[in-house]
Structure 1
Amino acid sequence: MTTTIRPTAAAELVRSFAATAGDLGDRADLARFLREHGLVSAGAIPITLADFDEALALRDGIRAQLRRAEGHPADPEVLARGQRVLDGLRVTVRLDPEEPGHDVLAPAVVDEVRRGLARIAAAWAALAATGEWRSIRV
C-alpha cells in the first residue's frame, strides 16, 4: 500500500505558474492566471509590458530551477533574471501565523500585479524552506 501525499497549496500554485509555458502568451493571459488563482482582486488589472516581462522572467526562472531538480541543465541567465524579479518584490512576514485569512508571508506592495507575483514568491519561499520544491514536476 502506498500513501499519497497531497501537495500543499503553495506547491500547487508554483507548479501551475511554472507550467504556463504555452498559456501565458499576453497580458490578458497573465490577468486571467492571477484572477483564477486568487492572487489579485476581481477588478480590472492594468498590466504593463514591464509587468508582463517580470512575470515571464519569474515563471521561467522557477521552471528552470524545478527542471534542474529533475536533472536538466539550467541556463544561468534565466535563473539570474528570475532572481532579479524576486529581489525586487516585497514580501512581509506576519507575526501571528494563526491569524485567520492571513498567510505568514504576504505581499507588502500595493500594485495588483506585483502583489500577485509577491504571492507566488511567498509560495516559492515556503517550498524552499521545506524542500517541497524538489518534488514538483513540470
Structure 2
Amino acid sequence: MTGGVPWCHSHMTTPDTKKSAAAALIHAFVTTGDDLADRADLARFLRGQRLVTEGAIPITLADFDEAVTLRDGLRAQLRLAAGESADAEAVARAQRVLDGLRVTVRLAPSEAALSPLAPAVVDEVRRGMARVAGAWAAVLATGEWREIEPV
C-alpha cells in the first residue's frame, strides 16, 4: 500500500453522533417518565417502538410492573455511570427482571435487528421486554451505553 496508513481515513472523518437503533430504543425507554403510567401506555410504547406485532396485547399488572422496574433500573444504572446518585436497589430489581427474560443468540441477525440477541419467548410483552434487554446488551457491548443521557 502506498501513500499513508490504512486506518487514517476513518480517523479523519467527522465523528458520527447518530445513535444506533439499540441506543435510541434504550433512550426512548428510560425517558418514558409519565408516558409509562399504565398498561395502555406500555402497549403504546411497545407498538410505537415496533417491539411487538400489531393487534391486541394482553398486558398483565405483573408485566407492567416488570417493565417499570426494568426502566427504573436502566435509568439508575445510567445515572450511576454518569457519577450521579441513584438507587442501587433499583438496579438490583431490574437485574432480576433481566434474569427472568429469555433470549437466544441469532447466528445471522437481520440488518434491522437491534442486537444478535432475540426473544426466546412467545408472550408478546415479554418478547418486547426481551428486545429491550437485547438492545441493552448491544449498547453494553459497544460501550455506547455511556453516551446515553441519564434522565
For Structure 1 versus Structure 2, the TM-score category normalised by the shorter chain is over 0.9
SS of the residue aligned with 2:96? helix
2:94 match: 82
Q: Percent identity?
A: 66
2:46 match: 34
Q: Which amino acid aligns with 2:69?
A: A
Q: Deviations over 1:48-90 (max 9, x none)?
A: 0000000000000000111112211121210111000000000
Cα distance in structure 1, aligned partners of 2:51 and 2:15? 31
2:20 match: 8
2:72 match: 60
Provide structure 1 residue ranges, at least 5 long, that are not aligned to the other structure. Answer: none
Q: Structure 1 residue 70 and structure 2 residue 70: aligned?
A: no
2:10 match: none
SS of the residue aligned with 1:22? helix
Cα distance in structure 1, aligned partners of 2:105 and 2:66? 23
Q: Number of aligned pairs? A: 137
Q: Structure 1 residue 110 and structure 2 residue 137: aligned?
A: no
TM superposition shift of 1:134: 0.4
TM superposition shift of 1:131: 1.0
Tell me the TM-score normalised to structure 2 length: 0.85
SS of the residue aligned with 2:34? coil
Greater shift in the superposed pair: 115-124 or 59-68: 59-68
Alignment of 1:127-138 (within 5 A): 127-137=139-149, 138=151
Cα distance in structure 2, aligned partners of 1:73 and 1:62? 13
Provide structure 2 residue ranges, at least 5 long, that are not aligned to the other structure. Answer: 1-12
Question: CA RMSD, aligned part only?
Answer: 1.6
